Chains A and B, each alone.
Chain A
Amino acid sequence: MSESTLLLDHGSGGMASNRLIGDLFFKHFGNPILNEMNDAALLDITGPITMSTDSYTVDPIFFPGGNIGTLAVHGTVNDVAMLGAKPRYLSCGFIIEEGLKMSTLEKIVIEMAQAAKEADVLIVTGDTKVVPRGCVDKIFINTTGVGELILPEATSGAHAKPGDAVLVSGTMGDHGLTVLSNREGLNFATDVQSDSAPLNHIIEALINEIGDIHVLRDPTRGGLATTLNEIAGQSKVTIKLIENQVPVRESVRNGCSFLGLDPFYLANEGKLICILPQEKAEAALTLMRTMKYGEEAVQVGTVLDPENSPGKAGQVVLETPLGGHRLLNMLEGEQLPRIC
């Protein structure tokens, strides 16, 4: 790009916008569907399809392990895939604060393009708005994704059954703690990085090679605890989580204890929860562990019949290392660091 700073002109629809679109977005996102440059993208897709949209407003926009753009790709790709689908296409809308450096936007766009390539999805339509200083914080990105269902019946949070195993694809809390600890004003060192990653390849493999998958969810905002509570509620079961089987990196654990946070409630952007019959658990774990982003997959709990468990329907019960049980509730509001 010849210009070095984003101006309101770049969102005007005139020459400056055209240059931005041509020199930046088409250059990096280009594919036959996008390159048609029509008002809408013509998609070659067969139903049933899954669709998801999300807006990304993360602060800081760059963090170890990713940036707002890669997050926007991974987040939506994963949401589309979680119903048992193969994500195919993404739309992408940018709302940019005037004054953002063009090189910053370009870095985001280049990494988004790489993320889309890795996830094997095409960015087929998009939009850019530049707004006056102060109207947004640097850059917001919205992505919408569509995918083709590859399961005969979509997975659902309502399909967990007593006797099922609860698996996770890796460590909990990496993304949430990374973003928090990189926020301005928080100066404690940690080597932790975001786990932001596309999970659709793992999902495809699970569906094709293991089958009989009841629930797939990515524990993003609200973390593992909140997501399991949602599932327990939807399925009217009790979920028992074994505390010391839930993988948490040492650095995340230490960071959390410093800030008074609970890693079970921190967001993940590259982890999935898979619930399936206990007989299939070992095979699913073995498969996940052979795949990128699934190396640390483990079983963390089981689904119980509320009649026959330490909890009620809709509750998540945590078994502590001492053998005691306690409730693992949904989080009320956001987690806020404590005083002492």
Chain B
Amino acid sequence: MNVSDSFKDPELCKKLLEQLHNELDAPLRFMEVCGTHTVAIFQSGLRQLLPKEIVHLSGPGCPVCVTHESEVAAFLDLAEKDDVIIATFGDLMRVPGPKGRNLKLAKAEGARIEIVYSPLDALKLAQNNPNDTVVFLGVGFETTAPTIAASIMMAKQQNIANFKVLSFHKLVPPALKVLLDDPECAVDAFLLPGHVSTILGMEPYHFVAERYNTPGVITGFDPVDILESLLIMVEQRKKGKASIVNQYKRAVSDSGNARAREIMFSVFDVAEAQWRGVGTIPDSGLVFNDEYAEFDALKALNITLTEVPQTPGCKCGEVLKGKMQPNDCPLFAKACTPAKPVGPCMVSTEGSCAAYFKYQVTA
């Protein structure tokens, strides 16, 4: 058995599950901050095996889901411009914007939109199309921001002036603070995102335990990771003393990736950002600093974010804040399905509504 398999080992999982059933003496409401954890819990079949007293809430950690309505509208406006090629990761293609439009539809109608797998591919696209402006849609958290920043640095070095980035990045820790400050938010512990933490390390989460006495475990995406983390949470709640634990040491170093952070902050400054369903959060976004301002698509293409009315009936905000389970949204599986999504939570591969729809637990 190799290392990665050992974190899926059914025998070990069985033992951990038993231990969890034994240790648990009070209900536990934990939040998977990151959508990939939600999917992992469903995909592995863990959800139905966990003690019923454990309630898991989805969090604001799906980058597509927290992209604000006005930002999606900006993508669609951009798609209408001549001489602009949009380069984007695939998951943004189906996100519903105003009047139910999305990038997939815009592309079918003639907009020039290329799906890329890395911002460096977008840079190449700019080199190959010198008469057009290539705009990369910079959506994502601390995980993707450093590589996007690196591509911007490279564009500057190589003088690729027709490469622009729309920076709608979001930072995870400030969103946790909003949740913790919300009296209605009843989270007993956080399952902290594995990917984001490879960049951040543990430091930015310490306030969760220190100021709010709430445990947080940085964890991976295999069943053993998740079960071990739940046990740590239960233990901490029992003792009444919270701390941040790095369970995912095989991928996340306690200090994170300093070099990636350095790259990210040589291009971007921290600023407030708008989160879909959550609202404006101070210090939770990344904007271009002066040195790299020429690559800012907002400025270069004169894009202003306009107020977009919220989609009526969509409870994405409640779901993202863990106040409502996806299937309690009145539109879930009725007016809102993956074929006809009302909110982004139903389209993104990491969206919690999509996960609840896709993996409806049987038995």
**Which residues of A pack against B, CB within 8 Å?**
185-188, 259-260, 310-311, 315, 317-327, 329, 332-333, 336-340
Most buried by B among A260, A315, A336: A336
Binds A, one of B90-98, B291-299, B316-324: B90-98
- Beyond A322-B45, A324-B48, A325-B45, is A338–B350 a contact (Cβ under 8 Å)? yes
Q: Is the CB of B188 closer than 8 A to any CB of chain A?
A: no
A5 to chain B, nearest CB (A): 22
Most buried by A among B93, B195, B338, B362: B362
Q: Nearest B residue to A327 by beta-carbon distance?
A: B360
B362, A326: Cβ atoms closer than 8 Å: yes
Show 25 residue pairs from A and B whose CB-CB distance is below 8 angstroms, ordered by the A residue.
Answer: A185-B121, A185-B125, A186-B117, A188-B117, A317-B363, A321-B45, A322-B10, A322-B14, A323-B45, A324-B44, A325-B361, A326-B359, A326-B362, A327-B361, A332-B339, A333-B339, A336-B115, A339-B89, A339-B91, A339-B139, A339-B144, A340-B140, A340-B141, A340-B196, A340-B350
B363, A322: Cβ atoms closer than 8 Å: no
Having A187-B118, A338-B350, A340-B350, one finds 17 other A-B pairs with CB under 8 Å, namely A185-B116, A186-B117, A187-B117, A260-B91, A310-B363, A320-B44, A322-B44, A322-B49, A325-B45, A326-B359, A333-B338, A337-B91, A339-B139, A340-B36, A340-B141, A340-B143, A340-B144
B128 to chain A, nearest CB (A): 10
Contact residues, B208-232 vs A (CB, 8 A): 223
Q: Closest 5 interchain pairs by CB?
A: A324-B45, A336-B90, A320-B45, A310-B363, A332-B338
Q: Give Cα A188–Cα B143 distance, bound, in whole angstroms.
A: 18
Q: Is the CB of B301 closer than 8 A to any CB of chain A?
A: no
**Which residues of B pack against A, CB within 8 Å?**
8, 10, 13-14, 36, 42-49, 63-64, 89-94, 114-118, 121, 124-125, 139-141, 143-144, 195-196, 223, 337-339, 348-350, 358-363
A333, B94: Cβ atoms closer than 8 Å: yes
Q: Is the interface of B mostly helix, strand, loop or mixed?
A: loop
B94, A340: Cβ atoms closer than 8 Å: no
A325, B358: Cβ atoms closer than 8 Å: no
Q: Nearest A residue to B50 by beta-carbon distance?
A: A324
Chain B residues whose CB sits within 8 angstroms of the CB of A329 once the complex forms: 358
Contact of B63 among A188, A311, A321, A340 (CB under 8 A): A340
Chain A residues whose CB sits within 8 angstroms of the CB of B362 once the complex forms: 310-311, 315, 317, 325-327
Most buried by B among A187, A260, A327, A339: A339
- Beyond A185-B117, A317-B362, is A338–B45 a contact (Cβ under 8 Å)? no
B165 to chain A, nearest CB (A): 14
Q: Give Cα A317–Cα B361 distance, bound, in whole angstroms.
A: 9
B359, A337: Cβ atoms closer than 8 Å: no
B89, A338: Cβ atoms closer than 8 Å: yes
- Beyond A260-B349, A320-B44, A340-B140, is A325–B363 a contact (Cβ under 8 Å)? yes
Q: Nearest B residue to A259 by beta-carbon distance?
A: B117
B125 to chain A, nearest CB (A): 8
B117, A337: Cβ atoms closer than 8 Å: yes
B117, A323: Cβ atoms closer than 8 Å: no
A338, B10: Cβ atoms closer than 8 Å: no
Chain B residues whose CB sits within 8 angstroms of the CB of A326 once the complex forms: 42-43, 45, 47, 359-362
Q: Give Cα A315–Cα B36 distance, bound, in whole angstroms.
A: 24
B198 to chain A, nearest CB (A): 10
A162 to chain B, nearest CB (A): 17
Chain B residues whose CB sits within 8 angstroms of the CB of A315 once the complex forms: 362
A157 to chain B, nearest CB (A): 22
A187 to chain B, nearest CB (A): 8
Q: Give Cα A322–Cα B7 distance, bound, in whole angstroms.
A: 12
Q: Give Cα A260–Cα B64 distance, bound, in whole angstroms.
A: 14
Chain B residues whose CB sits within 8 angstroms of the CB of A336 once the complex forms: 90-91, 93-94, 115, 349
Chain B residues whose CB sits within 8 angstroms of the CB of A186 once the complex forms: 117, 121
Chain A residues whose CB sits within 8 angstroms of the CB of B359 once the complex forms: 326-327
Q: Give Cα A322–Cα B337 distance, bound, in whole angstroms.
A: 28
Chain B residues whose CB sits within 8 angstroms of the CB of A318 once the complex forms: 45
B195, A322: Cβ atoms closer than 8 Å: no
Q: Give Cα A320–Cα B362 distance, bound, in whole angstroms.
A: 12
B93 to chain A, nearest CB (A): 6
B195 to chain A, nearest CB (A): 5
Chain B residues whose CB sits within 8 angstroms of the CB of A260 once the complex forms: 91, 349
Q: Nearest A residue to B122 by beta-carbon distance?
A: A185
A325 to chain B, nearest CB (A): 5
Contact of A337 among B8, B49, B89, B144 (CB under 8 A): B89
Q: Give Cα A339–Cα B49 distance, bound, in whole angstroms.
A: 29
A83 to chain B, nearest CB (A): 30
Contact of A324 among B49, B64, B196, B360 (CB under 8 A): B49
A43 to chain B, nearest CB (A): 40
Chain B residues whose CB sits within 8 angstroms of the CB of A333 once the complex forms: 94, 338-339
B210 to chain A, nearest CB (A): 27
Q: Give Cα A337–Cα B13 distance, bound, in whole angstroms.
A: 29
Q: Nearest A residue to B87 by beta-carbon distance?
A: A185
Contact of B47 among A187, A310, A324, A332 (CB under 8 A): A324
Most buried by B among A260, A332, A333, A337: A332
Q: Nearest A residue to B9 by beta-carbon distance?
A: A321
A321, B8: Cβ atoms closer than 8 Å: yes
A320, B338: Cβ atoms closer than 8 Å: no
A323, B44: Cβ atoms closer than 8 Å: no
A339, B63: Cβ atoms closer than 8 Å: yes
Q: Give Cα A337–Cα B93 distance, bound, in whole angstroms.
A: 10
Q: Nearest A residue to B93 by beta-carbon distance?
A: A336
Q: Give Cα A325–Cα B118 distance, bound, in whole angstroms.
A: 35
Q: Give Cα A323–Cα B49 distance, bound, in whole angstroms.
A: 9
Chain B residues whose CB sits within 8 angstroms of the CB of A332 once the complex forms: 337-339
B363, A340: Cβ atoms closer than 8 Å: no
